[in-house]
Amino acid sequence: MYDSVKGFRDFYPEEMQARRWAMDTLEDVAQRYGFREIGTPAIEPTEMYVDKSGEEIVEELYSFEDKGGREVALTPELTPTVARMFVAKQQELSKPIKWVSTRPFWRYEEPQQGRFREFYQTNVDIFGSAEPTADAEILAVAVDMLTDLGLTAEDFEIRVSHRDILAGVLESFEADVDVPEAIRAVDKRAKVDHDDYLDALVDAGLNYGQADTFDEMLQIDAEEIETLADLTGSEDVRAATDNLQAVLDAAEDFGVRDHLTVSLTTARGLDYYTGVVFECFDSTGEVSRSVFGGGRYDDLIEGFGGQPTPAVGFAPGHATLQLLCQRAGVWPAEELSTDYYVLQVGDTRPTAARIARDLRERGHVVESDVADRSFGAQMGYADGVNAETVVIVGEQDLENDEVTLKEMDDGEQVSVPLSAFPGDHDRPTFEDFAE
């Protein structure tokens, strides 16, 4: 016997049925907004990730030399890939471009709650629009995905911030601040001791007094954020707060403003974020980490050799979403479901096969015997796959030009004229034929 590789998971049919429901729900929301599905490769040149994140990123990758001597890596995220794809056809594509993709990714890191070495995400991105409406649409897609999964405003919180506000406030101090490093410290604020957080800000170039002041400014009430421009004297902060307010105003028009909380301590640690950023959290805190996040990354396409192109997107991870849905009680039961089992007794396969075909053509999940089993064994199997209805096609039934319809939940059954089944019924059940 072999064990599975650490950080990689098997999904049996019962689990996959629930997972498929979640995937289909997310993709259906994106498609309703006009996002078009793309397909992407499982490996990319390792150099693409090194150029973006530095040599140290290799330690987090499943990277290797292929048989052609090329250094490649299993894709740890989609953003560089979609940037590459966009640049390859930048002149041909009508903008804005709206892409969606669901697929696995791989990172060599320690597994923990909601995080595995192989993980699945649905990536949603808009390229070619710098308008606040694009940010608001991304937020609306995120909210609609969550509510279509059955979650309510009491189940989740989406915290919205703006990287340029953080950068502008940091640059207003009379200090030589490493802004990206300071923003990474803010991103880790809730995960470390407060003293360690202040130490990280000092390491980034602030003194302890400035670090305290900066942290106090981040906790300003949402209604007072616009005063940060006056406090700092920074026109960059004023422009960023105006942009954030414009996004929130557009989100109001999209009907999702009430799901958003302004929180400047939300930073997103990746350096490529440039404007509005956001993260989704379990409102009860039982899911101890961010469920997903996203934001604007206007400089990334240019960094991959393309023309300057604004972009915004997010990527809900399916493992953390499942944790949130399970905590909220909206994750479906992980069990098989079957609409009909067509049971054969004796030499009745041609008729049974015709009935099964007719039911499948109506869009139902239908199983029938492929193992030449007894009546009792077939009934046991039908119960095992949670068949709602069993259609018994027996030699004796056919002699009377009938089949027997049996409901599995209550055991009720009725004889039905063969010519009337399934007939004009889209979803024939016991009630359709009982007197």
Q: Which two tokens stand for residue 398?
A: 């056919």
**Which residues carry a binding-site annotation for L-histidine?**
77-79, 107, 121, 125, 268, 272-273
Which of 123, 124, 128 lies closest to 34, judged by CA? 124
66 burial (CB, 10 Å; 0-12 / 13-18 / 19+) is exposed
Question: Residue 163: in which H helix or E strand, if any?
Answer: helix 163-171
Calculate the CA dihedral of residues 328, 331, 332, 335 and round it to 10 degrees.
-120
Q: Which residues pair with 105 in a beta bridge?
A: 119
Q: Are 430 and 412 in contact (CB under 8 A)?
A: yes
Calculate the CA dihedral of residues 250, 254, 255, 260 and round it to 10 degrees.
-50
Peptide bond into 96 cis (omega under 30): yes
User: Which 3 state secondary structure label does DSSP give 374?
Assistant: coil
**Which residues carry a binding-site annotation?**
77-79, 107, 121, 125, 268, 272-273
- Alpha carbons within 13 angstroms on the beta-carbon side of residue 221 total 2
Give one DSSP letter per residue of 96-159, joined into a string. Answer: SEEEEEEEEEE--S--BTTB-SEEEEEEEEEES--SHHHHHHHHHHHHHHHHHTT--TTTEEEE
CA distance 174 to 305: 35
Calculate the CA dihedral of residues 74, 77, 83, 85 and round it to 10 degrees.
50
Q: Which two tokens stand for residue 123?
A: 């990536």
Question: Residue 14: in which H helix or E strand, if any?
Answer: helix 13-32
Cα radius of gyration rounded to whole Å, the chain? 28
Q: State how beta strands 387-394 and 338-345 pair.
A: parallel
Q: Which two tokens stand for residue 386?
A: 């949670």
